[in-house]
Each structure stands twice: as C-alpha cells, then as structure tokens.
C-alpha cells in the first residue's frame, strides 16, 4: 500500500489572523468546462439531433468500444434487468431491497399535494400538483457505477408518480454492472439503454427513433455529461450539476476519534477532490483525531486517494466554542454535516445551510449514503445556501389555479385595470374591464 504522509492535513484556528482567507481558499471550487469539452459536447448534441440513432451507434462504438448491431441492441429490456436481480448474491439483493424500502418510505413524506381555497365571493384559488411525464436517469459506468445512486435517483421519481423512467448507463467495452441493473429492477425503471456520455444526454433531451425524449434529466456523470446537461437545460429540466463531495463534522470531543477519522475517510475515499473537514473546540481532541488518521490510514484500501484528498482539501479546525463552530458551518454550507455532540438537536437549530444533517455520534454519514432513507443526492460547493436534496418534489410541478366568480372578477377588474394602465398595457386593461362591474351575465 502506498504511504503518503497524512500529516499534511491543514490545521486552522478561527483565531488565526488569516482564518477567513485560508478558509475561502480551502473551499474554493469552480468547475469550468474548458472550451474543448464544450465544443465536443455541442458537436455531439447537434449530431444526435440531426441523425438520431445512427449517431448514437457511432458514438457508442467510438467512446465505449463496442459495436451495437442496430439501435434496438442499445435497449436493455425488463428481462435483462430481472436476470441481473436474480444473478447477484442474495446478501447484496437483500441489502438493496432493504435500502429501497427505507428510501421509498422516507420519500412518501415528501410528496406535494394540490390545494385550493374558496373566497367569500366564490372565487377559487389554488395550485394543482402533477408528476412529470417522463424522466431520464443518467447512471455512470465503469468504476463509478453505484447501485445506490440508481435507488436514490429513481425511487423519488416513482414515488412522485412519474409514469415513465428511462435509464441510460454506458457499457465501456460492452461490459455491464449487474448490481446497477439489479438496482434498476428494484427501483422500477421502465426502460433502460446501454448508452453514455454527451450522446446519451442528447438522446434523452431531444429523443431519437429509439430513445424517447424526456422532460427532465437527473443523475451524476463526468465532465462531458455535466457539460451536456448544462447545454440542454431549458429544453429539459436538470438536477444540480454536482461538484466534489464534502463532509463537515462538528464534534464536542467526546466521540471515539477513530470513528471521526473513519467518517472523514469515508468522504475522502471518493476522489482526490473530495473535502473532509473537522471542527472541534478542544485542541487536544484535534490531536487525537490526527493520531487516529495516521494510525488508520495505512490500513485503508483506498489510502492513496484518501491521503491526497486530505492533503489537498482537508482541514482540522479549532473553534472557540460550539456556537462559533455553527457559524463556520453556516459559512461552509456543507453537503454533509455531522453533529457529533451530546445535544445534536439544540445544535441543529443553529444550522441554516447544509444538504443533510447527521445528528449524534451514531449517525455516520455512511448510513445516510445508503439506507437511512433521506436522499444522498445533495447540494455541493456551498449551493446548500439556496438548494435542496433531490426529492419527490423534483419530479412534480405545480400549475396555478384561478377561477373567478362573476362577483370576484368584478371586484378584481378595477385593480387590474388601474395597474395595467399604469404600465401602458391597455389590452390587459380592457380584457379585465370586460369582466368588470356592469357586464352582468353577458356571455
């Protein structure tokens, strides 16, 4: 196992003169698709729009190194998904089914409901909630093929009532990940295609002879996939374009430091850009966690990635007290926030910005990543300031409802007319005035 000194993890204190600037530098992350990637993606999208299936077959041959004999060969039918579910080890199947059950049960709490109310004059106002018609789910292939992501993206859509969920997954060298297909079977994916990259995103956004056009595309992917999603945004809805994964832990110094070290590792092992930060208000506790990191790191299968991530973007931060730690947490607005303290509920009251809050010493982020119930698709890179975990609500949308009674319209017409004339929009004014007092039951 490669030994990389983990002792380079940054050590900060909120009392440092340069603390704000050092924290900003640590958090800085701007994902920029270079001009070459953008150009490649735009070419692929234009080509798929123009040539449909023929373009999909060519790009699949070129990028995934397998040659589908025709467009129909791109589809993975329900029998194929079921076969994968039958084929995987029963322990894996049971774990997937247990996780799916909890994810589904939690998602049920998120379903938005239509509502309306009637005013005294009989006017009805409300909002009608509908599921999306068809949703595309991108699942990465190769090493980063995570069956848990299939569950987390697919189940909220199905709970929302989306009638048709279309999955795409690249098959580099024609190789399929059986766990991913099994997860798709459990989650109720309706159609699946062995497709990846920008060409898959283009197909989901615009449709081809074989792949149906979707209304929204969700799911993670590499820089080509992310760039393609940004490019088709507007034509279809997309979820957030995710940055590297992050964990922030606030600890009162009473949790076994090995537990905290492993929680930091669990984020850092994703990739070299992942961010693991611990804030405590006892310097001695930071020393103990650092000792745990140094002792445990060499045992880890992914020690090299972990060490690189901790060195590049990790930190152990000393705060003055718990309140100050909460303030720093709000500034960081982390994707994952562990409150490893004696009274996590009181501390959570002080948190305004975090994708998910893991409360108490027993609530390892890893439990939430897989099976606690809440979604593991969460806002990264400080976007928790303004966005939310993926949920059922992302697969529903609202239509406003307005039904004015004759009396209600008469009452509103004066106000609407005055404002419309103030804005110089006289057709608006006259349209309102037709429904104004004195029009009676004319029509």
Q: How far is the CB of 60 from a second copy (least distance, A)?
A: 25
> Residue holding tokens 């006259």?
430
Q: What distance in Å separates the CA atoms of residue 199 and residue 267, rounded to the nearest whole number?
A: 30
Single out the residue of 301, 321, 438, 440 in contact with a second copy (rule: CB under 8 A): 301
Candidates 237, 271, 282, 312; binder of a second copy (CB under 8 A) is 237
- What region, left, alpha or beta, does residue 151 occupy, with left being phi > 0 and alpha being psi -120 to 50 degrees? alpha
What is the CB neighbour count within 10 angstroms for residue 63?
Answer: 16
Q: Cα(211)–Cα(215) distance, rounded to whole angstroms?
A: 13
Catalytic, out of 108, 119, 301, 336: 336
Q: What is the DSSP letter of 142?
A: G
Question: Could you tell me which of 299, 12, 41, 60 has the C-alpha nearest to residue 173?
Answer: 60
Interactions with a second copy, residue window 27-56 (CB under 8 A): 31
How far is Cα 308 from Cα 297, in angstroms, rounded to an integer? 11
Angle formed by the axes of helices 426-434 and 406-422, nearest 10°: 160
**Is 190 in contact with 236 (CB distance < 8 Å)?**
no
Which lies closer to a second copy via its Cβ, residue 292 or residue 322? Answer: 292
387 is in an annotated binding site: no
284 binding a second copy? (CB under 8 A): no
Task: Say whether 308 counts as a known binding-site residue.
Answer: no
Task: Return the residues of window 175-194 that contact a second copy according to CB under 8 A.
Answer: 179
Exactly one of 54, 302, 327, 350 binds a second copy (CB under 8 A); that residue is 302
Contact between 314 and a second copy per CB under 8 A: no
Binding-site member from 148, 199, 208, 210 for a second copy (CB under 8 A) = 148
Nearer to a second copy (CB atom), residue 131 or residue 196: 131
- Going from the C-alpha of 297 to that of each of 3, 227, 300, 304, the distances in angstroms are 9, 35, 5, 9
Cβ at position 425, least distance to a second copy in Å: 6
User: Of the candidates 27, 96, 169, 316, which one interacts with a second copy according to CB under 8 A?
Assistant: 96
Region of 8-16, 69-77, 167-175, 411-419 interacting with a second copy (CB under 8 A): 411-419
Between 232 and 319, CB nearer to a second copy:
232
Of the two residues 167 and 354, which places its CB atom closer to a second copy in the complex?
Answer: 354
Cβ distance 150 to 183 under 8 Å? yes
* Residue 310: Cβ-neighbour burial (10 angstroms; 0-12, 13-18, 19+): buried
CB of 67 to a second copy, least distance (A): 29
Q: Which is nearer to a second copy, 173 or 443 (CB)?
A: 443
Q: Which stretch binds a second copy (CB under 8 A): 19-27, 41-49, 56-64, 268-276?
A: 268-276
- Per the rule left: phi > 0, alpha: psi between -120 and 50, beta: everything else, 417 is alpha
- CA-nearest of 300, 297, 354, 301 to 326 is 354
List own/partner pairs for 52-57 with CB under 8 A and 24 or more apart.
Answer: 52/208, 52/209, 52/210, 53/208, 53/209, 53/210, 53/211, 55/199, 55/208, 56/195, 56/199, 56/203, 56/208, 56/210, 56/211
Contacts of 46 (CB under 8 A, 6+ apart): none
Annotated catalytic residue, options 94, 119, 324, 335: 335
* SS3 of the chain: helix, strand, coil, percent, to 5: 50, 15, 35
* Total residues interacting with a second copy, rule: CB under 8 A: 123
Q: Is 222 annotated as a binding residue?
A: yes
14 lines the binding site for a second copy (CB under 8 A) = no
Residue in 132, 165, 187, 329 binding a second copy, rule: CB under 8 A = 132
Between 222 and 405, name the residue whose CB sits nearer to a second copy: 405
C-beta closer to a second copy: residue 24 or 77: 24
Provide CB contacts within 8 A for 206, sequence distance 6+: 45, 48, 49, 213, 232, 235
Site for a second copy in 316-335 (CB under 8 A): none
Reply yes or no on whether 335 is catalytic. Answer: yes
Per the annotation, the verdict on 336 as an active-site residue is: yes
Q: Does 258 bind a second copy (CB under 8 A)?
A: yes
Among 169, 176, 347, 413, binds a second copy (CB under 8 A): 413
Binding-site residues for substrate, in ranges, read: 245, 267, 270, 336, 369, 423, 428
Residues making up the binding site for NAD(+) = 138, 199, 222
Return binding residues. 138, 199, 222, 245, 267, 270, 336, 369, 423, 428
Q: Which residues are marked as active site? A: 335-336
Numbered residues of the known binding site for Zn(2+): 267, 270, 369, 428
């Amino acid at each position: 196992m490669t030994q990389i000194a983990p002792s380079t993890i940054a050590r900060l204190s909120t009392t440092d003169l340069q603390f704000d600037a050092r924290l900003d530098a640590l958090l800085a992350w701007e994902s920029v698709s270079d001009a070459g990637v953008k150009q490649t993606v735009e070419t692929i999208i234009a080509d798929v729009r123009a040539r449909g299936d023929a373009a999909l077959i060519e790009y699949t041959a070129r990028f995934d190194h397998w040659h589908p004999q025709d467009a129909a060969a791109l589809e993975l039918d329900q029998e194929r998904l079921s076969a994968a579910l039958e084929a995987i080890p029963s322990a894996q199947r049971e774990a997937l089914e247990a996780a799916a059950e909890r994810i589904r049960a939690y998602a049920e709490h998120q379903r938005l409901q239509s509502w309306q109310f009637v005013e005294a004059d009989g006017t009805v106002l409300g909002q009608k909630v509908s599921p999306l018609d068809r949703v595309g789910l991108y699942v990465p292939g190769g090493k980063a093929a995570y069956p848990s992501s299939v569950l987390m993206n697919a189940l909220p859509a199905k709970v929302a009532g989306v009638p048709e969920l279309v999955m795409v997954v690249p098959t580099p060298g024609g190789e399929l990940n059986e766990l991913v297909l099994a997860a798709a079977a459990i989650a109720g994916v309706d159609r699946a295609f062995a497709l990846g990259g920008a060409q898959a995103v283009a197909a989901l956004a615009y449709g081809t002879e074989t792949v149906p056009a979707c209304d929204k595309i969700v799911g993670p992917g590499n820089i080509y996939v992310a760039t393609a999603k940004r490019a088709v945004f507007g034509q279809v809805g997309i979820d957030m374009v995710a940055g590297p994964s992050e964990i922030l832990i606030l600890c009162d110094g009473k949790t076994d430091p090995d537990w905290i070290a492993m929680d930091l590792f669990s984020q850092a092992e994703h990739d070299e850009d992942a961010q693991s930060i611990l804030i405590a208000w006892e310097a001695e506790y930071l020393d103990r966690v650092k000792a745990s990191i140094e002792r445990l790191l060499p045992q880890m299968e992914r020690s090299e990635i972990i060490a690189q991530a901790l060195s590049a973007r990790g930190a152990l931060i000393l705060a003055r007290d718990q309140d100050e730690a909460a303030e720093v947490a709000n500034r960081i607005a982390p994707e994952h926030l562990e409150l490893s303290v004696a009274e996590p509920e009181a501390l959570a009251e002080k948190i305004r910005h975090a994708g998910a809050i893991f409360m108490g010493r027993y609530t390892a982020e890893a439990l939430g990543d897989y099976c606690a119930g809440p979604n593991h698709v969460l806002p990264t890179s400080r976007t928790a300031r303004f966005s939310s975990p993926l949920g059922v609500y992302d697969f529903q949308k609202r239509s406003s409802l307005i039904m004015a009674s004759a009396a209600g319209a008469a009452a509103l017409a004066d106000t609407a007319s005055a404002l419309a004339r103030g804005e110089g929009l006289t057709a608006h004014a006259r349209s309102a005035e037709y429904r104004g007092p004195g029009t009676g039951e004319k029509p």
